[in-house]
Structure 1
């Protein structure tokens, strides 16, 4: 499965060019092509939104479409794709248009964080002394923050009805998304903030995206496979299941699991904390292999994998009860617990970045009650997701790229009550503003208290 929010990493591609305008005819043809390809190849197109509703959204867009520029059309297409409620179905601007947008816009010079439905300034280093970290951001240019975030969410792909992944994404890239989906062309920002001294309104001049990037910490973290032992628990960190990323970093995942669980057994460890925060997914079988080291009895990882009538790619496909089902994926087999499986207490840490394969791992462990989950709702769905083999559509006139996944996975957890939701931890942890400002790890502190 693919990692979360692929389009982020095309933002900084070193290309140049000018955005193009689209005629009404060209925009219409692109939308019709997109709908035809989605219906032909996306098996999860109607998983959360009925066909009648999808048809209505597309027809409304077709009825209202006018001559538009590239960014405006991108907003329309991302709004439609959002209605599929599939986190792996994403729209990407052509790199030249992305670069032009970043070079030609001025952005709000703030980094923000969400706390209990409110948004707070986290980094105000580009505002001089006008704002301070910890000030609550109430509105921007007359729009309340809840309305701004609602508008942005309408264009961001996510599994089902999950919001945690989108919250985390906007904490990282709010200036970009605000400019793209709310106030393109804005050069100054009237912000209303609440602080210890009351409400105040100030005007912030926009800054270049180069300065925005200098304000933020790097988004991507290098692949990590870590095992260490503390006095009362052992700690394991796996921040990706991507075989390519791990291989490129010189890390051997299978060897890491085998050696780590052998070491845990030799040390007679009683408590294991597995940190999957920030893990955006990767290889299906890497996820199932981890579960096998934690399972108490034989288990199924996937219940089924469905494809459409038009699909003709990898895998042995059979027809059963009106569905076209894959039968050749190892994840569909019955898995047995590993001989070196861990027999003690397992805590697993998840967050809104825990997506795709990572969410599958969390869902299977949660369903079978083989781990106690701590943190926040995963960014990936409890039901499974649509990912795997993926087509890249290039819309003929706009050049927009659409990642179209072609395998609909259903996780082996039949009868669960979490349709459209992520994996909801047994112990939810909400950060306070003070914890964020001090950069405390409240989730790990919660686990330590549970262990005690």
Structure 2
């Protein structure tokens, strides 16, 4: 018995040592030999050509062949994982499919999450092909590059050149540019792209427009995250015992579930204006959307709300079942999700590299059928009409706020109700295509040598064939952009426009009611 315990103890120690050594053994600067890169790249191309349902939807085959060849021809020397990822990213951007993207290997992703890396010093908002302004600055003592400052160049590279270059590394649906501009603007994306494409120096020369409208230049330093304060040790080697024990730092408690849920979806009601403002930042499952929608629309009916703004500007999609549910509370007629929904392949000769390929094969055997066009169609969604909700259905005025982050299932929702007499889409073109998408089943593919991953859509969904050629997102009924002065003042122009429309409409309704009362 003692021998077994000792053996188990030694095994656990060995496992821990192995785990620690493997963690420390990861080298982010490791270079892969050209032959290994070419093997991964060839597999990457073969899988896309075999299984991607919309590889040639917007880019003809001869053009894609050229892009594939150009990428392969760059693999003449050893590369690090980020360098190889850049090559793949530029090829994938030519597919013009927002659901096909590249991810680092799991180990490199873990390294990024924990490494203390120098950072690009500020974030930006891109609001045109040649327009960019500072949103926040990590160097808080910087009194020059403040919120709203227009940037015209960095290290001699014009804003137009930077936006155009970074766009070549980003995926988007069809010919939509607003989605890419928003991706560059999201969180630390601009800095991460700058690092990936140009690298980060100690300092950056930034050209900008000052508060008087004059062109100026300044030099700013890269941001170094603060180091952890090491505990000082006396000569003896043991930590010195403080005379007065320091108070213990309380452990950070995870946010309550209610806080997370409220940040993801919430509603505010103004009974004075008989209006409500609903935020829905995802259609993913796990956020109790079904009960949220049920309670919300029941309350809107109880309070006789006449105006509803629904903000989906930061909704990147999720479960089509949830977006369909919200649609049913608002739509005034029966609707279909798609004119057609199909996959081109059930099986794959590269199945060992594709996540859940066996499960996918089984699932498609059950729910799809091979049609005359040789494709495997998901017939239920091609035939089925969803009906409006009868209970708690909202019949008042609806304003849908959209932007570049409105993507995937969010466009299914907005497309289904746009055009109704009581619905207006306000804001910017959606990042997701109005014609359709490939958002149905999207496994990861892991390349064997570099372990770089890419997402492989398996289904092609077409909502409106007449819109495919243009390849655009849902265009707003009321277009509202943004400017550097609005960024500087912290103004939300889209919300301001909707608030003004509701306020004016509510006042007009009140005036009519008053006139009727006087007449009686």
TM-score, with length taken from structure 2: 0.75
CA positional deviation for 1:221 = 8.9
1:217 matched to which residue of 2?
none
Q: Distance in 1 between matches of 2:305 and 2:117?
A: 54
**1:242 counterpart (284, 300, 303):** 284
Give the match for residue 273 of structure 1: 309
Q: Within 5 A, what are the aligned runs for 1:429-440?
A: 429-440=480-491
TM (norm. structure 1) is 0.86
Tell me the equivalent position of 1:122: 135
Task: Give the Cα–Cα distance (whole angstroms) in 1 for the partners of residues 481 and 54 of structure 2.
Answer: 32
Is residue 105–residue 187 contact of structure 1 (8 Å, CA) maintained in 2? no
Q: Counterparts in 2 of 1:170-249, with a 5 A limit?
A: 170-171=184-185, 172-173=187-188, 174-181=190-197, 183-197=198-212, 198-208=214-224, 222-226=263-267, 228-232=269-273, 233-244=275-286, 246=287
Using the TM superposition, give the Cα deviation of residue 308 of structure 1 relative to its aligned residue in structure 2, in angstroms.
1.4
SS of aligned partner of 1:75: helix
1:115, distance to aligned residue in structure 2 (A): 4.0
Task: Verify the 8 A CA contact 1:165 1:353 in the aligned structure 2.
Answer: yes
Find out whether 1:339 has 2:354 as its counterpart.
no
Q: Which range moved further: 151-160 or 309-318?
A: 309-318
Greater Cα shift, 413-422 or 62-71: 413-422
Q: In structure 1, what is the equivalent of residue 179 of structure 2?
A: 165
Match of residue 85 from structure 2:
74
Separation in structure 1 between the aligned mates of residue 380 and residue 102 of structure 2, nearest angstrom = 28
User: 2:61 maps to which residue?
Assistant: 51
For residue 439 of structure 2, give the secondary structure of its aligned residue in structure 1.
strand
Contact 1:46 1:84 in 2 (8 A): yes
> Residue 62 of structure 1: CA displacement?
1.7
Say whether residues 1:363 and 2:415 are aligned partners: yes
Question: Residue 37 of structure 1 is aligned with which of 47, 52, 57?
Answer: 47
The answer to whether the 8 Å contact 2:317/2:406 transfers is: yes
Secondary structure at 2:143's aligned position in 1? coil
2:104 to 85, 90, 93: 93
How many Å apart are 1:344 and its aligned residue? 1.9
Contact preservation (8 Å) 1:18, 1:100: no
In the alignment, the residues of structure 1 paired with residue 166 and residue 53 of structure 2 have an alpha-carbon distance, to the nearest angstrom, of: 26
Are positions 1:111 and 2:123 aligned together? yes
Q: 1:146 to 1:332 in 2, by over 3 A?
A: farther
Report 1:346-425 matches (<5 A). 346-366=398-418, 371-411=423-463, 413-416=464-467, 419-425=470-476
Distance 1:230 1:170, change over 3 A: farther
Matched positions, count: 423
1:20-62 C-alpha deviation (Å, 9 max, x unpaired)? 2122211111111011111222112111111211111111222
Counterpart for residue 73 of structure 2: 63
- Tell me by how many angstroms 1:418 deviates: 7.1
What is the SS of the residue equivalent to 1:167? helix
Cα distance between partner residues in 1 of 2:461 and 2:226: 39
What is the distance in 2 between the residues matched to 1:91 and 1:221? 31
1:271 Cα shift?
Answer: 2.0
Q: For 1:302, what is the secondary structure of its paired residue?
A: coil
- Residues 368 and 28 of structure 1: CA distance in aligned 2, closer, same or farther (over 3 Å): farther
On the 8 A contact 1:108/1:188 being kept in 2, the answer is no
The answer as to 2:27 corresponding to 1:18 is: yes
Report the equivalent of 2:368.
Answer: 317
Pick closer, same or farther for the CA change 1:353–1:84 going to 2, 3 Å.
same
What is the CA deviation profile of residues 364-389 of structure 1, one whole-angstrom value per residue up to 9, with x for unaligned ones? Answer: 22256662100111111111111222
Q: 1:313 to 1:85 in 2, by over 3 A?
A: farther
- Give the 3 Å change call, closer, same or farther, for CA 415–231 of structure 1 in structure 2: farther
The structure, 1 or 2, with the larger RCO (C-alpha pairs under 8 Å, 6+ apart) is 1
For structure 1, the residue ranges without an aligned partner over 5 or more in a row are: 1-14, 212-219
**Which has the larger strand fraction?**
1
- Contact in 2 for aligned 1:187/1:206 (Cα 8 Å): yes
Paired residues of 1:93 and 1:401 also in contact (CA < 8 A):
yes
Q: CA deviation at 1:282?
A: 0.9
Query: How far 1:443 moved relative to its partner?
Result: 0.9
C-alpha distance in structure 2 between counterparts of 1:380 and 1:423, whole Å: 8
